[in-house]
Structure 1
Amino acid sequence: MITLYTIINWLLIFSYWLLIACVTLRILMKRRAVPSAMAWLLVIYILPLVGIIIYLLLGELNIGKRRYERNKAVCPSINQWIDNLKCCQQIFSTANSEVARSLFQLCAHRQGISGLRGNKIQLLTNTYETMKSLIRDISLAQRNIEIVFYIWQAGGVVDKVAEALMAAARRGVFCRLMLDSAGCVHFFCSPYPAMMRNAGVKVVEVLHVSILCVFLRRMDLRQHRKMVLIDNYISYTGSMNMVDPRYFKQKAGVGQWIDMMTRMEGPITMVMGIIYSRDWEIETGQRIQPPAENIIPFEYSNSNNTVQVIASGPGFPEGVIHQALLTAIYAAREELIITTPYLVPSDDLLHAICTAAQRGVKVQIIIPLDNDSLLVRWASRSFLSELLEAGVLIHQFEGGLLHTKSVLVDSQLSLVGTVNLDMRSLWLNFEITLVIDAKDFGSDLARVQEDYIAHSRLIDVIVWSKRPYWQRIIERLCYFLSPLL
């Protein structure tokens, strides 16, 4: 005789396998890379129930219903803002160098705006010099300051930046500050948010980390941009978080973080302002009106550089930064230099890099010797053999955690910004990258990369091939998780 217990047991088993089948079908129906799909299938089959929960939390890009509706609502305003900017024909470039032409065509078609000329660009490689410059510009601001960072950690020189921002707000400058909830968890537990708000700074905690939001949106989606915009004319972006390297993650044992920022004056700041305004409205529901007049830098109108800014994340063109990197790599004819703290590329990027080396391009990749993420470090190692066999020169930086994200193609085309060479940056997070077509800037970036190489250890192919077998096993295990990192 069949007991109630038996019926319930069979119902639970049936429900479990039905759930497995439904999630499997959903993974297969989603348009995603095969390695990513295979990795998720392994997770849900190897980790019963736990794997399904992980997939429901992290497997799909879900920004939440409210943000999705706000993103739809802001589109007409953003398009109108871009159309108004296009009326200023003198700020748009009509020609690019041969190596940059395809990339700028891609950006123009996918983002609806061409590269801009008339910008003054300065490369900043010392965190403290960057902070001093930032404090000076904030102190001279007259109208508005917009800031977004993934990490803001109080202490050291960062407190002087905070003081300058609060002083600006007190004298009537309109100040907005967006900070990622996960990256700034210590900041939001400090007195600074209240102090800033009391001074008049609008402080917004972006993408709240909360147990109540777990099933409403994807929790590992992060606001990873780093931008400072001042008076619609001066802007900063790059890899640097708002931290003092002397105090940041000192217990991690990787040394001080080494970063790169760019300071710009000119119309590129207007485009970055459009990106910021979209992020602000998606998060807060409040609309930032475009400036009454377009800021045209006549004194730099003849500068021989062209700049494009690429933004990614929900609501922005899907995969555009990934496409930009592929286009830049395939355009290389002589030399390709890449710096990244996290090297977990997609199969397409790995193939493009190896192909560049195999067709005679001198390809060099600079990564930190020590990394703050153990899983990423081992996953990264799994790609090194294939790169080395293709002829890629891989340098391990020994002067700290090299956090700079940069690509230099033929000393002419530069990409600098917030994007790591991992799946999270390429397909998930809110990121920003500058594309700069300028020989002078390329020369400056090349000198910085040469300095990185001078403080690095070149990986020997023969020595690498003789590493212990247990290390290879760990590398391969972590490799299976690489599409999810």
Structure 2
Amino acid sequence: MSTFYTVLSWLLVFGYWLLIASVTLRILMKRRTVPSAMAWLLIIYILPLVGIIAYLSFGELHLGKRRAERARTMWPSTAKWLNDLKSCHQIFSHDNSDVARALFQLCEKRQGVAGVKGNQLQLLTSTDDTLQALIRDIQLARHHIEMVFYIWQPGGLADEVAESLMAAARRGVQCRLMLDSAGSVQFFRSPWATMMRNAGIEVVESLKVSLLRVFLRRMDLRQHRKVVLIDNYIAYTGSMNLVDPRYFKQDAGVGQWVDLMARMEGPVATTMGIIYACDWEIETGKRILPPSPDGNIMPFEQESGHTIQVIASGPGFPEDLIHQALLTAVYAAREQLIMTTPYFVPSDDLLHAICTAAQRGVDVSIIVPRHNDSMLVGWASRAFFAELLEAGVKIYQFEEGLLHTKSVLVDGQLSLVGTVNLDMRSLWLNFEITLVIDDDGFGGDLARVQDDYIARSRLLDGKRWSRRAYWQRIVERLFYFFSPLL
């Protein structure tokens, strides 16, 4: 009997080390950044069982076998649709400003379509204005309403949007609503999901969170886009979830969330529609390719319309494109670079690009919230401040709520607005969307919004920051160690 237990114990030890060795080999064979690989290896060696479970759950980008197959099979029809769209020559622009040219060329090369022109574009900086405008557009919809949001939380004006959406479905408008399972957990626990389905709305819970799927799909992969499409003509996107901030995270201690949304009319709704169609097919298996734009879709003259390129990121979409786009935009800056983000945990390449821009004379400003709803990201972001300040970057800490706007403005001409945070999760993992606008008029509008944020912020003093408590530096470095995993 003692021999049996001896053999069994040796087999267990051998299996244990074989498991560690196999996971180590798996980490090394995956093409990833050295800091990320080292972080995972250290976690696995310090806390082997916890580390292995964490890595198998969150260490690789598993879309799931079924979704991955759908993503693979949808591309032939999507590519054909994009090719047919190119025959609508009148909607595409190939004339960009010097600061925007390289970025638009990158996006066209990697996504297959150029930026589209002749769009009307309006910035909405108030949640009330955004939701009221959305309600009006829903009430006027005639054919289709399609939405995707990371968070839909009942309460306040969000309920009025829900009521108007159900009324549209009852009068015969085809309504589709896709919400992230984790972000919209309160919505799916409320009566609203059943009420909407009973009204005729197709409601889809995207990327369901379940312990049964923990090793089959990466559980922290999230549908982070915020998009509304109406009649293949009106589109919304930006940083705002479908929430009324007066009813949202009131106990978080960070104040109301401050967001920015863009409302658009024109052919950009069609290019955003193909992104929605891909998301819908990956999640449901159903194909809903949007109609191609007709000849009357450009009511705005080229001189008064905006040129917009749409960048989609996430599994199944061009890999690393949003990261490349941000790097290209930062390196294109010659005079001024302003960035706003609630979560600032950049890659080494992006951090280097920002610091280099400041060191070569660009006026660089980063606006972040002073108080963050994520303790991990809040501390990790501070680990980058010293290097940024030393390079000459101005860091503003927004004091009137949680600044949730994600925006980049380059030389007052090139704007990036959307759902992408300047952190690892947005850059490498989640389903995200960003608008790229080449227009000094829109740039001026965005600059006024950013100036308002700066007026409500406190400029971080480099000398005072260098004298912060030693324990704070230790905590910053501790969370910085986990930054490749955030």
State whether TM-score is above 0.5. Answer: yes
Contact persistence 2:85–2:292 (CA under 8 A) = no
The letter for the 1-side match of 2:256 is Q
Q: Distance in 2 between matches of 1:407 and 1:420?
A: 11
The letter for the 2-side match of 1:241 is N
Any stretches of 5+ residues in structure 2 without a counterpart?
none
Q: Distance in 1 between matches of 2:292 and 2:97?
A: 34
Q: Describe the SS at the equivalent of 2:113.
A: coil
**Aligned twin of 1:274:** 274
Q: Distance in 2 between matches of 1:456 and 1:254?
A: 14
Q: Distance in 2 between matches of 1:247 and 1:195?
A: 20
Q: Distance in 1 between matches of 2:27 and 2:329?
A: 31
Q: Distance in 1 between matches of 2:296 and 2:40?
A: 49
The Cα offsets for residues 51-78 of structure 1, whole Å up to 9 and x where unpaired, read as: 0000000000111111111111211111
Structure 1 residue 296, shift from structure 2 partner: 4.1
Alignment of 1:281-360 (within 5 A): 281-291=281-291, 294=294, 296-302=296-302, 303-360=304-361
**Aligned twin of 2:35:** 35
Structure 1 residue 382, shift from structure 2 partner: 0.5
**Aligned twin of 2:434:** 433
Q: Distance in 1 between matches of 2:435 and 2:184?
A: 24
Q: Distance in 1 between matches of 2:374 and 2:293?
A: 45
Structure 1 residue 215, shift from structure 2 partner: 1.2
Structure 1 residue 213, shift from structure 2 partner: 1.0
Q: Distance in 2 between matches of 1:416 and 1:89?
A: 25
Contact persistence 2:119–2:268 (CA under 8 A) = yes
Q: Distance in 2 between matches of 1:315 and 1:94?
A: 26
Contact persistence 1:340–1:367 (CA under 8 A) = yes
Relative distance call for 1:459 and 1:12 in structure 2 (3 A) is same
Worse overlay, 377-386 or 284-293: 284-293
Q: Distance in 1 between matches of 2:212 and 2:173?
A: 36
Q: Distance in 2 between matches of 1:167 and 1:23?
A: 53
Q: Distance in 1 between matches of 2:108 and 2:290?
A: 21
Q: Distance in 2 between matches of 1:194 and 1:2?
A: 61
The letter for the 2-side match of 1:350 is L
Q: Describe the SS at the equivalent of 2:417.
A: strand
Alignment of 1:156 with 2:126, yes or no, is no
Q: Distance in 2 between matches of 1:37 and 1:57?
A: 15
Contact persistence 1:85–1:294 (CA under 8 A) = no
**Aligned twin of 2:393:** 392
**Aligned twin of 1:80:** 80
The letter for the 2-side match of 1:245 is P
Q: Describe the SS at the equivalent of 1:250.
A: coil
Relative distance call for 1:304 and 1:156 in structure 2 (3 A) is closer
Alignment of 1:104 with 2:104, yes or no, is yes
4+ runs of 1 displaced by more than 4 Å?
A: none
**Aligned twin of 1:458:** 459
The letter for the 2-side match of 1:407 is V
Structure 1 residue 2, shift from structure 2 partner: 6.3
The Cα offsets for residues 289-329 of structure 1, whole Å up to 9 and x where unpaired, read as: 43265364332132353110000011000010000000000
Structure 1 residue 11, shift from structure 2 partner: 1.6
Q: Distance in 2 between matches of 1:190 and 1:299?
A: 41
Contact persistence 2:409–2:446 (CA under 8 A) = yes
**Aligned twin of 1:9:** 9
Size of the aligned set, in residue pairs, is 485
Q: Distance in 1 between matches of 2:20 and 2:378?
A: 31
Q: Distance in 1 between matches of 2:290 and 2:435?
A: 22
**Aligned twin of 1:215:** 215
The letter for the 1-side match of 2:274 is I
**Aligned twin of 1:248:** 248
TM-score by length of 2: 0.98
Structure 1 residue 239, shift from structure 2 partner: 0.2
**Aligned twin of 1:416:** 417
Q: Distance in 2 between matches of 1:295 and 1:269?
A: 14
The letter for the 2-side match of 1:175 is C
The letter for the 1-side match of 2:422 is L
The letter for the 1-side match of 2:128 is Y
Relative distance call for 1:296 and 1:107 in structure 2 (3 A) is farther
Q: Describe the SS at the equivalent of 1:229.
A: strand
The letter for the 2-side match of 1:370 is H
**Aligned twin of 1:186:** 186
Q: Describe the SS at the equivalent of 1:73.
A: helix
Q: Distance in 1 between matches of 2:46 and 2:449?
A: 45
Q: Describe the SS at the equivalent of 2:449.
A: helix
**Aligned twin of 2:371:** 370
Worse overlay, 252-261 or 21-30: 21-30
The letter for the 2-side match of 1:385 is A
Q: Distance in 2 between matches of 1:482 and 1:211?
A: 25
**Aligned twin of 1:468:** 469
Q: Distance in 2 between matches of 1:6 and 1:404?
A: 61
Structure 1 residue 47, shift from structure 2 partner: 1.0
RMSD: 1.1
Q: Distance in 1 between matches of 2:343 and 2:300?
A: 36
Structure 1 residue 12, shift from structure 2 partner: 1.4
Structure 1 residue 398, shift from structure 2 partner: 0.2
The Cα offsets for residues 342-363 of structure 1, whole Å up to 9 and x where unpaired, read as: 0000000000000000000000
**Aligned twin of 2:129:** 129
**Aligned twin of 1:117:** 117
**Aligned twin of 1:200:** 200
Contact persistence 1:309–1:434 (CA under 8 A) = yes
Structure 1 residue 216, shift from structure 2 partner: 1.1
Contact persistence 1:408–1:446 (CA under 8 A) = yes
Q: Distance in 1 between matches of 2:290 and 2:151?
A: 27
Worse overlay, 297-306 or 174-183: 297-306
Structure 1 residue 10, shift from structure 2 partner: 1.8
Worse overlay, 293-302 or 26-35: 293-302
Alignment of 1:21-60 (within 5 A): 21-60=21-60
TM-score by length of 1: 0.99
Relative distance call for 1:410 and 1:21 in structure 2 (3 A) is same
Contact persistence 1:368–1:402 (CA under 8 A) = yes
The letter for the 1-side match of 2:31 is R
